[in-house]
């Protein structure tokens, strides 16, 4: 799959003499956007080879991975089951745009308490799921496993050899690990975690042995799926200047962090940066519902 690198022009970049391109993985598909497509690709091939007809996975109510799995399952002939965090959603999931669309794509839900969700990988819970649903191909939360990393290694292509610095948003770290594995020896990778926590380093080391990456841990905006008015304004300003929409949960935080580092002269003049737009735009609708309730400015959308 060929994905274009788009050149970004901003006064801040010119002033600091760094160049920035964005790899438009968000354009792969509106629902299986970016890295979730990459992570599913080899898992679906593997599931089919092993004769599975059902995929089961986990996620929060606005999860890009849930949206992608539901759609990919439908297209590739799998039944899909989503184990969703939050019992309370059982009543009102139809109000949630991510879950509503996933259901329209054939996904069946099981809503579980936060406690149960935390223990989702226990043998006990997995046994319960097998009793309830029969045999299934298990995709972990966020889709990250060895097959997913293999898919993410395909994000970089030969044309990307020229870049000095590669940037991506980090959730589970699977995408970063794939990029780390595929990068050239002269390239440095910056990961921008969208959540707080020290567990990430270790998780990433399970999937890459290279030391070519570092995490910029200052730009999580309070934690996973937390946003501020500053971040919303930033995403809207970035759109106004570039016509590129970022999602507030991952790519917005990455780009905010990256431009903050440019401003702070982290990069030497002449540095060529490639930032990966990992997608996630399906989640903007849900986020806007929440922003509206709070009477905050909304995130601009393409339509």
Ligand X SMILES: *Cc1c(COP(=O)(O)O)cnc(C)c1O
Judged by the rule CB under 6 A, the positions of this chain that interact with ligand X are 34-36, 64, 142, 144, 169-176, 247, 250-251, 278-280
**Closest residue by Cα to residue 155 from 133, 135, 179:** 179
Task: Give least dist CB 193 to ligand X, A.
Answer: 8
Cβ proximity to ligand X, 174 vs 257, nearer residue: 174
Backbone phi and psi for residue 190, each to the nearest 5 degrees, phi listed first: -110, 125
Cβ proximity to ligand X, 129 vs 200, nearer residue: 200
Collapsed DSSP state (helix, strand, coil) of residue 111: strand
Task: Give least dist CB 144 to ligand X, A.
Answer: 6
Task: Give least dist CB 204 to ligand X, A.
Answer: 9
Cβ proximity to ligand X, 19 vs 278, nearer residue: 278
Starting from the edge strand earliest in sequence, which strands make up the sheet with 165-170, in order?
A: 5-8, 19-23, 272-276, 165-170, 188-193, 213-215
Cβ proximity to ligand X, 16 vs 248, nearer residue: 248
Cβ proximity to ligand X, 16 vs 277, nearer residue: 277
Task: Give least dist CB 238 to ligand X, A.
Answer: 15
Cβ proximity to ligand X, 62 vs 109, nearer residue: 62
Task: Give least dist CB 49 to ligand X, A.
Answer: 23
Cβ proximity to ligand X, 53 vs 154, nearer residue: 154
Inter-residue contact 65 to 141 (CB < 8 Å): yes
DSSP structure class, residue 3: -
Three-state SS annotation for 206-275: CCCCCCCEEECCCCCCCCCCCCCHHHHHHHHHHHHHHCCCCCCCCHHHHHHHHHHHHHCCCCCCCCEEEE
Task: Give least dist CB 254 to ligand X, A.
Answer: 8
Backbone phi and psi for residue 182, each to the nearest 5 degrees, phi listed first: -90, -10
Task: Give least dist CB 89 to ligand X, A.
Answer: 20
For residues 177 and 189, give the distance between their C-alpha atoms in angstroms, rounded to a whole number.
10
Pairing of strands 188-193, 79-85: unpaired
The tokens describing 24, both together, are 């438009």
């Amino acid at each position: 799959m060929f994905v274009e690198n788009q050149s970004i022009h901003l006064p801040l970049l010119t002033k600091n003499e760094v160049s920035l391109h964005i790899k438009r993985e968000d354009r792969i598909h509106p629902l299986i956007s970016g890295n979730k497509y990459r992570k599913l690709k080899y898992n679906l091939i593997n599931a089919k080879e092993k004769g599975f007809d059902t995929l089961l996975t986990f996620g929060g109510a606005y999860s890009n991975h849930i949206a992608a799995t539901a759609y990919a399952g439908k297209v590739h002939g799998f039944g899909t089951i989503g184990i969703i965090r939050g019992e309370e959603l059982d009543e009102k999931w139809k109000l949630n745009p991510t879950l509503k669309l996933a259901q329209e794509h054939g996904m069946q839900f099981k809503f579980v308490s936060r406690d149960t969700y935390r223990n989702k990988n226990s043998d006990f819970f997995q046994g319960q799921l097998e009793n309830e649903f029969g045999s299934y191909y298990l995709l972990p939360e966020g889709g990250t496993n060895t097959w997913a990393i293999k898919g993410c290694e395909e994000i970089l292509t030969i044309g990307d050899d020229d870049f000095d610095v590669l940037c991506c948003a980090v959730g589970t770290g699977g995408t970063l690990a794939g990029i780390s594995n595929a990068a050239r020896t002269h390239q440095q990778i910056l990961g921008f975690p969208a959540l707080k926590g020290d567990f990430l380093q270790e998780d990433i080391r399970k999937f890459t042995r290279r030391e070519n990456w570092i995490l910029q841990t200052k730009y999580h905006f309070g934690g996973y799926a937390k946003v501020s008015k500053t971040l919303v304004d930033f995403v809207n300003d970035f759109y106004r200047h570039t016509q590129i929409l970022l999602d507030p949960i991952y790519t917005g935080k990455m780009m905010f962090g990256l431009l903050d580092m440019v401003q702070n002269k982290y990069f030497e003049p002449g540095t060529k940066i490639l930032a990966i737009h990992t997608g996630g735009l399906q989640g903007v609708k849900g986020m806007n519902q929440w922003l509206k309730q709070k009477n905050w400015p909304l995130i601009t959308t393409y339509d």
